[in-house]
Structure 1
Amino acid sequence: MYQVVRARLCALVCGMRAARRDAGMVTSEYAVGIVAAVAFAVVLYKVVTSGAVGAELQGIVQEALNARM
């Protein structure tokens, strides 16, 4: 029992050390993340500004403005 607990504790501590060594992102990872975020923003912009979605959003806003409490 003691050996199992000791092995798990050692694995946890060793894993934490490895995580500390590789805690940050390098410049290339930031660049890939930014490119992915921009691509997602472009796709989202295209979807929101499309005719069908725009009309639906306008209808929702009109309905909300005309609603009575």
Structure 2
Amino acid sequence: MRDELQNQSDDQAQETGCGGREERGITTAEYAVGTAAGAGLAGLLYKMLTGGFGNELLSTLFDHVLDLLGI
């Protein structure tokens, strides 16, 4: 049974032009794009939260939490 499934998989790979290789996971180029996007997002968040917007946001959030706790 396992050999039959492997043969079917090989046939499908040849039909799609994969040469018998499975296409699982992400490639190196996708890792690079994901890493660059993550770094860009982290830089944007850092810039936002260390500026006036971040101080106001954290101050408002802290005040709301204290109000909820009744302090």
**TM superposition score normalised by structure 1:** 0.54
Q: Could you say what the CA RMSD is over the residues aligned between the two structures, in angstroms?
A: 2.6
Partner of 1:41: 42
Structure 1: gaps spanning 5 or more residues: 1-13
Does residue 52 (structure 1) correspond to residue 21 (structure 2)? The answer is: no
| Aligned mates of 2:36, 2:43 — CA distance in 1 | 11
List per-residue Cα deviations over 1:8-47 (Å, max 9, x = no partner).
xxxxxx6xxx7x8221212121111111111011111111
Unaligned runs of 5+ in 2: 1-11
Q: Which structure's relative contact order is higher, taking Cα pairs within 8 Å and 6+ residues apart? A: 2
Q: Percent identity?
A: 33
Which residue number corresponds to residue 29 of structure 2? Answer: 28
TM-score normalized by the length of structure 2: 0.53
What is the CA–CA distance in structure 1 between the aligned matches of 2:41 and 2:61, rounded to whole Å? Answer: 24
Q: Could you list the per-position Cα deviations for residues 44-63 of structure 1 after superposition, in whole angstroms to 9, with x for gaps in the alignment?
A: 11112220331231232134
Instruction: Return the letter of the residue paired with 1:43.
Output: L
Moved over 6 A (4+): none
Greater shift in the superposed pair: 27-36 or 49-58: 49-58
Equivalent position of 2:66 in the other structure: 65
